[in-house]
Structure formats: structure tokens, C-alpha cells
Amino acid sequence: MNKTLRHAAVFFGVLFFALLGRATWIHAVSGESLAKDPNNRRNVIDAFSRPRGDIIVGGRPITGSIPTPGSDLLYKRTYVDGPMYAPVTGYLSQAQGATFLEGVHRDILAGTDLRLQRGGFDTLIGKKTDGGDIVTTIDPEAQKAAYKGLTDLGAKGAVVALDPRTGKILALASTPSYDPSVFTGNSIKEGEEFTRLDQDKDKPLSNRAIREAYPSGSTFKILTAAAALEHGTVTDIDASSGLPARYTLPQSSSTIPNVVPDAQCDKVSMKTAMQWSCNSVFLDAALKTGVEKMRETAEKFGFNKEHFTPVRTAASSYPERLDRPQTALTGIGQGSLTSTPMQMAMVAAGIANDGKVMKPYLVEQINGPDLSVLEKTEPEPHAQAVSEATARKVQDMMEHTVREGTAGQAQIPGVTVGGKPGTAEHGVDVRDNRPYAWFVSYAKQSDGTSPVAVAVFIDPSDMEIPESEIGGGRLAGPIAKAVMNAVLKRGA
């Protein structure tokens, strides 16, 4: 062989082994990352190559899949009662991705979760696995009551209902909402609709029930009462506090008024203070309990922590560094304290469940395409937030507030109901902002257990009503009552 041929042979040999090495490297080392690269069109084509599993509410699917002729993405998602269930399902869009249950359980719904693989011959020939179903804990009637209550008001707001005994999420509503079906494809029109929703000042894509935190106002007084009783700051809920109706903040000349005449709040007991939402008793209770013990109790109820239902919730905040005036203000749910509607539902549920707070969960079980149960959620406690004795005293106050106080809008004939309304000032200059309206409540069965606790949040900033008409009892109380009624009628 002459010199030229040898050089050519060596050169092409080097090229061959370089090509072989590169192919081996891509297959063995880079293959997985390339396969998962979001820019890999094959992944998107595969994800929409067949119908997906469904999200189930009350035994029926609230999602579906329909063909998309003329596209390499063969199917797109459809939704039943899309706006009502959007805070539960989220969306699955060919162009925008996935959120909430559609995103968290993407692999199950798409049939790519390893638990769905059949193995054997089907795997060998590359046969696609059908998607599984996500069975939710949502009570359809409670969800309807929550969504109808919010939309009838035309309000920005949210409702969360829990089963205090287990932590099941029975309702999860947020308004204004959106229909996920309108941008599930990847056309220009659907992209424009998503952009319009994303830029809307009313934030319809935002899940106010679990992803937005607000000052909780007077509804936080039930946690203040629980902390004060648990730590011995208050021992007798019927004893006079000796406090004047108007409370002067420490290190300040500022006084905090009440929403009722001063005569109703002068030297009253904690029970009467809860009944009429007198501020002085709870400001003083928080101050005397102290920031550390107040925060400790708040955290036992779930504050300062994200929760995974499995959809992530935003953390509610009881801040670490508070001076004496700020500590007092947390007693009435003001200052720098914030809470999601989910968190306040957990507080009400924990009180109703004799002090035990259960972790909230949205998925009852995961089914395979053959209806076999792949995973079932077991109730799990978050914490024993306060003792049973403390919880029973707070229940007594909340039930008295419904029977004879500011929470009368939640009364249900023949049913024991505990509740607390609240309004919350917010913003840099609260004079320029209409207060938020809240209502938290629970209902008991004849055996004393509670199958439902509710938190309702209303932002009345765009509502055409006088500010004097804004109140947790007036706006949010009837919604809480309707949701509790829906659960009770089911015979939970």
C-alpha cells in the first residue's frame, strides 16, 4: 500500500472512530438530557400523540382529549366546567405547558409513569401505555356552591373547604377564573388568548385560594385566642378583661377602634370580644402572649411553610422580627401578617378537629388505565396545634359568635356552626383601599365531629357597593353557609 493510501486509511479510520465515539457519548451520556430538553419537539409530539388520562371529580371526568386534524400534535385537552375547576386542574396547553394537577401528575396522565408500564412484550415492541386517572377529593356540590357564591357577587375572591378530620380538600374556588380549553392548542388565536389572560389586571390565571396571601383581619382572632389560652395568658374566657374599648398600642399614642360601639367592648371577656369582634382583648392577648409563642402556635397551624397538596401552596407568614406594637397588631390579623385562604381554612379545621391540624390533600387516589389503584392518599397530621381543652374553648366562642354575634349569617337550622367574620385593612395607605372581607367557619354533626371547615376571602375593590356595606359577615358569610350546607346534605 502506498503512502497516500495509508494516510487516507488512517484519516478515515480516525473519522470513523470519532463518529462512533460521538454516537456512543450521545446515547450513553447525553441521551437522557437531550430527551428531556424542553426544546426537543419529539417530546411534545409524543405527549400529545394519544388521549390522556383524566382528572376525576365526584366519579366523573372533568377533562378530556379531542383530535386536532392537520397537526403533528394529534390531541389537545378539553375541560368540563373549566372556569369552576381551573384552580384544581390547572391547564395543559400544547404551547404554554401545564400547571396544577395537569403539571404535577403529567407522567401519570400521559401514561409515561413507570408504574403504568406493562413490561414484557409490550415494552419490547414499544407499545404506548394508556394514561392513568387522578381521582380528586373535591365535592362537586361544594365546589358549585363556592364558585356560584363568588361569581354571583362578581367578586375577586377565593373559597377553600376542608374536611377537618382528614384534610381532604372539598372545594377550591378562585375568581375571576378562566376556561383552560380556550388555549389548549398552539394556534396564533389560542396564544393571543393566553397572553390576554396573562396580562389581565384582574389576574384570572392566579389561584387566589392557595397562591396569594393577604392580611387575614379579625379571622386571625381565633388563632390569637387559641395561643393565649394554650400558653396561659388567658385562663377564663368568661372573665372580664378589664380593658377599655379603645386600645392604645405600646410605645405609641395610636388607639385602635372597634367596628361596634365602644360600650359593647368595654372591659369585656374574651368570649364577648369574639362575639362582637372587639379589638382590645386580642391586641392585648397577642402582646402578653409574646411574639415567640404567637409564632410557635401559628406555625403549628401551618404558617411559615409551603404545603404540597400535591399542588404547592404559598407560605402564609407570621414574621420573625416584630416589635411590641407589631406583635399586638398580629392579634387582630393586621400588621405584616399574611395568610392564604387555604391557611385560614386549616386554622378553622384545626379548631374544629379538637386542635389537631391535618395536612390538606387534593388527590384521593391514582388509578391505572385498568382502574387498578396505584396510589391512595392516607390522612396525615400536620401538628397538634393546641390541646383539646383549648380547642373546645375556642369552639365555644366561635359557636357563640354564630348564635348571638357577628357571624349570624352562617346559622344553619338544627346544625351547630362556629364562625368568625373579619375585615382586613391593607396597602401602604389603607385609606385608599377598600378592606378585604373574610369569613371562616365549620359545621358539626350530631356526634360532635366536623365534616367541613370553610374559609372565604373577598376582595371588593371593584364591587359597586358602599364601603360601609363591606364586611365579612355580609359578603362572605352566605357563601360559607352554602358550602357547608352542600357538604352536610351529602351526609359526610
What span, in angstroms and rounded, lies between the C-alpha atoms of 313 and 316? 9
Q: What is the mean pLDDT of residues 291-299?
A: 98
pLDDT of 128 over the 90 cut: no
Supply the pLDDT for residue 43: 67
| Interval 416-432 mean pLDDT | 80
What is the pLDDT confidence band of residue 7, given thresholds at 50, 70 and 90? low
pLDDT at 16: 75
Query: Cis bond leading into 176, ω under 30°?
Result: yes
**Cβ 135 vs Cβ 366: under 8 Å:** yes
At residue 192 the predicted structure's pLDDT band, cuts being 50, 70 and 90, is very high
pLDDT band at residue 101 using 50, 70 and 90 as cut-offs: very high
pLDDT: which is higher, 121 or 119: 119
Confidence category of residue 464, pLDDT binned at 50, 70, 90: confident
Tell me how crowded residue 389 is: count the other CB atoms within 10 A of its CB.
11
Q: Inform me whether the pLDDT recorded for 202 exceeds 90.
A: yes
Instruction: Give the 3-state secondary structure of residue 169.
Output: strand
Using a pLDDT cut of 70, give the percent of the chain over it: 90
Answer whether residue 23 shows pLDDT above 80: no
Residue 300 pLDDT > 60: yes
Banded model confidence at residue 469, pLDDT cuts 50, 70, 90: confident
217-268 residue pLDDT tens: 999 999 999 999 999 999 999 999 999 999 999 988 888 999 889 999 999 9
Q: Which residues are catalytic?
A: 218
Per-residue pLDDT at 196: 97
How sure is the predictor about 46, in pLDDT bands with cuts at 50, 70 and 90?
A: confident
Q: Give the Cα-Cα-Cα angle 451, 452, 455 (nearest 5 degrees).
A: 165
Q: Could you report the per-residue pLDDT of 139-161, keeping only the tens digit for each?
A: 999 999 999 999 999 989 999 99
Q: What residues have CB less than 8 Å from 119, skipping those under 6 apart? A: none
pLDDT value, residue 126: 55
- Strand 255-256 to 247-248 pairing: antiparallel
pLDDT at 254: 84
Residue 415 pairs with which residues in a beta bridge? Answer: 412
In order, the DSSP letters of 221-240 are HHHHHHHHHHTTS---TTS-
**Region 87-97: what's the mean pLDDT?**
96
Q: Which of 30-34, 68-72, 230-234 has the highest mean pLDDT?
A: 230-234
Domains and CATH numbers, the chain: 217-363+379-489 (3.40.710.10)
Minimum mean pLDDT among 5-19, 78-92, 249-263, 409-423: which range?
Answer: 5-19
Place of cell 389548549: 184
Measured N-to-C along each axis, helices 279-289 and 291-301 cross at an angle, to the nearest 10 degrees, of: 100
